[in-house]
Chains A and B, each alone.
Chain A
Amino acid sequence: MTNDQQPTTHHPPNLNFAVLQFPASNCDQDALHALGDVLGQSARYVWHKETSLGNTDAVIVPGGFSFGDYLRCGAIARFSPVMQAVQQFAANGGLVLGICNGFQVLCEAGLLPGALIRNRSLQFRCEPVYLKTLTSDSPFTNQIPSDKRLKIPIAHGEGCYFAADETLQRLKANNQILWQYCNAQGEVTDAANPNGSLWNIAGICNERRNVAGLMPHPERACEAMLGSADGCAIFQSLLHALESRKVATAA
Chain B
Amino acid sequence: MKAKIIITPKKAVVDPQGKAVQNALEHLGYNGIRAVHVGKYLEIELNGADPAIARRQIDEACHKFLSNPVIEDYRLELE
Counting chain A CB atoms within 10 Å of each CB, which of B12, B14, B16, B65 scores highest? B16
The answer to whether A115 touches B70 (Cβ under 8 A) is: yes
Given A115-B71, A117-B71, A162-B71, residue A71 in contact with residue B66 (CB < 8 A): yes
A-B contact count (CB 8 A): 36
The answer to whether A119 touches B70 (Cβ under 8 A) is: no
B16 partner, pick from A79, A115, A122, beta carbons under 8 A: A122
With an 8 A cutoff between CB atoms, is B52 at the interface? no
User: What is the number of residues of chain B that contact chain A, defined by CB distance less than 8 Å?
Assistant: 12
Residues of A within 8 A of B14 (CB): 117, 120, 160, 162, 196
A196 partner, pick from B16, B20, B65, B70, beta carbons under 8 A: B16
Q: Nearest Cβ distance between residue B63 and chain A, in whole angstroms? A: 12
Residues of A within 8 A of B66 (CB): 71
Residues of A within 8 A of B16 (CB): 118-122, 196
A58 vs B14: C-alpha distance when bound (angstroms): 34
A107 vs B9: C-alpha distance when bound (angstroms): 17
The answer to whether B20 touches A117 (Cβ under 8 A) is: no
- Per-position binary interface string of chain A over residues 98-120, scored 1 when its CB falls under 8 Å from any chain B CB and 0 otherwise: 00000000011000011101111
Q: Nearest Cβ distance between residue B76 and chain A, in whole angstroms? A: 16
- Per-position binary interface string of chain B over residues 13-24, scored 1 when its CB falls under 8 Å from any chain A CB and 0 otherwise: 110110010000
With an 8 A cutoff between CB atoms, is A188 at the interface? no
A118 vs B68: C-alpha distance when bound (angstroms): 14
Interface residues of B (CB under 8 A from A): 9, 12-14, 16-17, 20, 65-66, 68, 70-71
Given contacts A117-B9, A163-B70, A164-B70, 7 further A-B contacts (CB under 8 A): A72-B68, A75-B68, A113-B70, A117-B14, A118-B17, A119-B16, A122-B17
